[in-house]
Structure 1
Amino acid sequence: MPSIILLNKPYGVLSQFTDDRGRPTLADHIRCKGFYAAGRLDSDSEGLLLLTDDGALQHQISHPRQKLPKTYWVQVEGEIGPGALAKLRRGVSLKDGVTAPARARSLPAPDIWPRVPPVRERKSVATSWLELTIREGRNRQVRRMTAAVGFPTLRLIRTAIGNWRLGDLAPGEQRIEEVFAAPTRTARNRRRR
C-alpha cells in the first residue's frame, strides 16, 4: 500500500534532496528512504509538501491535468479589500496568460509559528491576510497573482493539497499516512454521471 508523508516545509528549504550549493534540503527533514516530492514549494514559501513512495501516486498528485486544489494563507502588503478579492476570483492577467478563477477570501491574522527570518515590517504600511485556493500550478503563481492586483506577497503558507491538510504540524514536522486506492480524476467524473 502506498504511503505519503505530509511535511510542513520550513522557510528556506528546497523541495529536493540534494543541492550542490549547500542550501537546506528535504534531506535535512526526511529520513525515510524511497520517498519523493509530489510537486514543489518554493524555498521562500512554507507549509504543506507531500512526498510519496509510489510513482503513480506522485504523478497523480503533481500532474497539472489532475488540477488538485491547493490552498494558501497569504500575508500581503496593504489592506486587501473586496475589489482585489473579486479580481482574484475572476482570474487575473499574468505574462503567461489569464489565471483560472480562484477562491479568495479575507482571513484574520492566523495564530501560526513565527517565520525565521521574520517578515520585514514597515511601520507605515499595514499588512493583511487572505486565503487563496487555486487549481493551477504555474511558477510562483500566488505571488504573481497578488502582485497583479496590487498586493505583494510577504509570506506564503500552503495549508492544503486536495484532501490533505497541514493541520497542527510545526515547521519541519511530518506525519506518514497510508493511502487507500485514491480515485483518479476520470473515475471521479464517471461516478458523478
Structure 2
Amino acid sequence: MELVLEIERCGGNVAAEDGESRVGIEFGSRKLVISAIKSYTISKGVDYTVYDYEPQTFYAKCKGYGAGCDRLIRASLIRKKGCWEIRRYNGNHTCTVGTISQDHAKLDSDTIADAIRPLIEANPSIKVKSVIAEVQSRYNYTVSYRKAWLAKQKAVAKVFGDWEVSYQTLPVWLKAMTM
C-alpha cells in the first residue's frame, strides 16, 4: 500500500508520494509534524519513541533504534519563518519489525477522531462497529470497541461541541425563550 500524505506547509501543500520525510519539509504547526510522523508509522507498522520533548523541538527515534534500525527524525520551530521544519532525518526504516497484529500504539482515540470527523458530520448517530470498520479499512488495524467509542465521542465533541459547555449555556437559552 502506497501512502499519499498531504503535508501542510507554511506557504501551501506538498505531497510526499511515499510518505517519507525529507530534510527541509516545513509544517504549519507542531501538531502537523506529529500527525505526519504518526500517520507514517501507523501505515508502515513500526513505532517510535519521543526524545527531547521540548516546546520548540520534536525528536523521535524508531523503537528498534540501535538494534538494527537507524531511523530518527528531528523537527524544530524556525522562528523567522514561523514554521516547523524537519532538520535531521536518517532515512527509511532498516529494522525488521513485524506488523503489529491487532492494534498500533500510536493509533489512539484522538487520531481516530480526526480520521472519522467527516463521518460524524455526515451521520452523528453512526454505530461504533462502523467506526471500527472504517479504522480497519483506512489503517489496516482492528481497534477495540472502547477505543472506537472514545474516538466517536471526541469527534462528536469536536463537531458539535462539548456536553458540559452545552449544559452551561442551557439557562441562558431558557431565559431567552421565556422572554
- Normalising by the smaller structure, the TM-score range is under 0.3
Between Structure 1 and Structure 2, the one with more helix by share is 2
Higher strand share: 1
TM-score normalised by structure 2 residue count: 0.27
TM-score by length of 1: 0.26
